[in-house]
Structure 1
Amino acid sequence: MKVKYLFSALIFLTLSTLMSQEIKSSELLLPTSNITLSYHEAGTGDHTVVLIHGLGSNAKAYQKNIPALSEKARVVALDLPGFGNTTLGDFVPGMDNYAKVVSEFITLKKYSHVTLVGHSMGGQIALQLAASQQPEWLKNVVLLAPAGLEQFTQEDKNWFQAVVNDQLYLNLTDAQIQQNFDINFYGAKVPDDAQFMVNDRFKIKEDTEKYKTYVSTVVRSIHAMLAEPVYDKIADIKVPIQVIYGKNDMLIPNKMLHPQLSLDDLLEKLRTDYPKIKIQQLDEAGHFVLWDQSDAVNTCIIETIDDK
């Protein structure tokens, strides 16, 4: 009997190993951008899913998505310059600059049939890339709680310029940093399995000079999102676009500048202006919809891959 159970366990372990895709961490020098880009890659196939993280985040934000997606396609999660294991160097944070880095990386890797997936700021970067470059390799765009759809007036931009600066972030206490992470997730609380994100931030904070560079990158990226709007450029994108938001997103729309604007209002305008875009809202999900409802998000992306 024990032999039978041992045999069954061995079969299970063997199948589990075969079904899981090894995630490899690598780096690639991008000569034009003068950046050595860090990335994680798993899976194989003609179709490639490129995952672009949001503001202040990195490739590890997609760790609940990579295993499932890599069963259907090659999956690549990037660390944008200034985040994760990709150093900033002389890179100037900006939506078009980030888009050019992503495009150069994909071109050098010679990926084809690419689905760009962008979360938050990564969504705006994906839109900028798709609209401005219209590369032949791009087949689909999937936006997860994307920035760039909410529009800001010059007065709004002036407010950001006056209020959002390096010192604001440098003065944040650990408790305030934790709170800022909390509101990204459903229930306004970081799940236990996502607490590593907060701990990683605390680790950066321990190195004063590294933290100053990190904070500067975040602030410059925020200002770039406002200075380089993409909403009106969506009309130039030729490939299918899918937008996914959590119904309980506490960050979009901006509650301070647009208190009367709801997410439903924002998406209704998007439907009116761009009726071909597929829009979905997921229950029990906040701004980090890719974590709160990872299975549902994975299903949506896989359906995009399968829809040839």
Structure 2
Amino acid sequence: MADHADNDNDGEIFLYRGGRAPLHVSHARIDESVDVIEDEAFRDCRILVHVETHDGIRKVGQWAFQRCKSLMWINLKSAVEIGEHAFDDCENLEVAEFGDKLETIERYAFKGCSSLQRLNLPSIIITGRGSFRCCKALTDIDLSERLETIREGAFVGCHRLRRIAIPLKRGLFSFNVNLQKYNQFDRCDQLTTVDLVGEAHTKVISSLHMKCWRAEMEEEINRINQVLPTTPGNEKTAAIKQWVDSVMDKMDRYKAEHCRFVKEATTLLELALWKARLGEIECSLEPEAKKAKVDAESARRERRITCGADIVIKNVLPFLQLK
């Protein structure tokens, strides 16, 4: 169902309640009863300039705004999913505001949005195949710590892209079977900077046992921003993936070494406690000797409790084993 609202100071505003909007719409308001903007709802509304949304919209359907060439800004802070080709060829779309609920952007959702400049996707899990292909004005991308997959060709042809922020995870890039390569950032010739999102890697590195390990890990993390500026555009993705794998391999190795040191320290401490408790074994002694021994044992127990060795064994050491 589609409807119109009354005229206001900005002219006629189309009130969208579902279905297909008329092609001549220039201003639209999504009714609060609508939580899904349906497939092809505003497709080919080429003079659509402004869409007023609300906080109850959870999904934008397939081709919902495809070829809305006059649309410049949209607020999608409540959306969880954006369907394939939803904003395909919205060439004047400069700003798309996403909130902390958006998890999935389907294939080619923003392909050809050649005016889109920045992306902040704080909760994204999946970016689909070619989802931001040929967004030629895009310069900065901040992805989520929750990100699991960047599919094939997601950012191909983003010629002005300079910086991305991604989590440190294996298997982040999908392999392009047709091209027999990873091509998420092909033709992103100006991509020179990769930052890491999240704090998991920082916590692990700061907790490593040896200072030289921490220094080497930090050096390896910084390496990508030294090699990426001279890496050809069609090799950017391969370089980033190789770097992620290298960082993860080193981190796994040092975590294993760290755990080995912790285990050795635990064993030594347990042996020390066992030795300290040998004196607790009761022997057949004269009453006077027994009394002296009991006093010594009491003092030893008191000192052991005071030094906290028992607490270390049971409660502290397990936390030193890095996950």
Q: If the length of structure 2 is used for normalisation, what is the TM-score? A: 0.26
Q: If the length of structure 1 is used for normalisation, what is the TM-score? A: 0.27
Structure with the greater relative contact order (CA < 8 A, sep ≥ 6): 1 or 2? 1
Larger Rg: 2
Higher helix share: 1
